[in-house]
Amino acid sequence: MNEERLKQILKIDAQAQALYDQALSETDAIPAQAEEQVRLLIESTRKQAQEDAAKLVDEICDPQSIENILKKNKQKMKQREALAKANTDKAVDFVLHSILTVNN
């Protein structure tokens, strides 16, 4: 009977040791797995950023986009010039009126 108990205890001890070794092995693998996942994430993020940057450069350097921007800005400039001319006439009239009013 004691011999049977001793065998059971040794068997349980061997199982416990096996579980401990397995847990220790898995614990050692976790940091390596985490580092690999981080490395892959960094690579993926870097690749996506490079693709996005290339798209932006293509959009910025697209002659049609540049032409559209120039057209819009030329139209705005013409509108502002027309507005400035209209306001210049009003400003000259105001200054002349002020000068004539002071001198009279």
What's the predicted TM-score (pTM) here? 0.43
102 pLDDT exceeds 80? no
- Report DSSP letters for the chain, one per residue: -HHHHHHHHHHHHHHHHHHHHHHHHHHHHHHHHHHHHHHHHHHHHHHHHHHHHHHHHHHHH-HHHHHHHHHHHHHHHHHHHHHHHHHHHHHHHHHHHHHHHHH-
104 pLDDT exceeds 70? no
